[in-house]
Amino acid sequence: QVQLAESGGGLVQAGGSLRLSCAASGRTASGYGMGWFRQAPGKEREFVASHSWPGGSTLYAYSVKGRFTTSRDNTKNTVYLQMNSLKPEDTAVYYCAAYRGIGVRTQWNEYDYWGQGTQVTVSS
């Protein structure tokens, strides 16, 4: 079992930055690919970014490419999402998730474990 805990959400003005963290814990917290998804009110959960294990590959949604960067510190079992040039349309609950396997993943049903989510609100 892997537990995921996100942190770092909050309220920011458009054009600002936030860094989300996702700490993984459990007996086998290492060895998992990690991803970020988000869900805005009234919308479906959407893929944001994926980061393979141990970290050679990343993939981003078109809407965030060039503005968001995912990184991971495997010594701390933590993955990060640096979000720059934030826009009001980035407002959502952001979730981190973990999966077993190689490569990157973009579909929510490919992920095995999920965090509780952290709210990101971008004001105009």
Nearest to 118 by CA among 12, 27, 25: 12
Share of the chain above pLDDT 70, in %: 98
Q: What confidence tens digit (pLDDT) does each residue in 51-85 have?
A: 998 878 999 999 999 999 999 998 899 999 999 99
Q: How confident is the model at residue 28 (pLDDT cuts 50, 70, 90)?
A: low
b/e per residue 39-73 (b: at least 16 CB within 10 A): eeeeeebebbbbbbbeeeeebbbeebeeebbbebe
Predicted confidence band of residue 26 (pLDDT cuts 50, 70, 90): confident
pLDDT of residue 29: 59
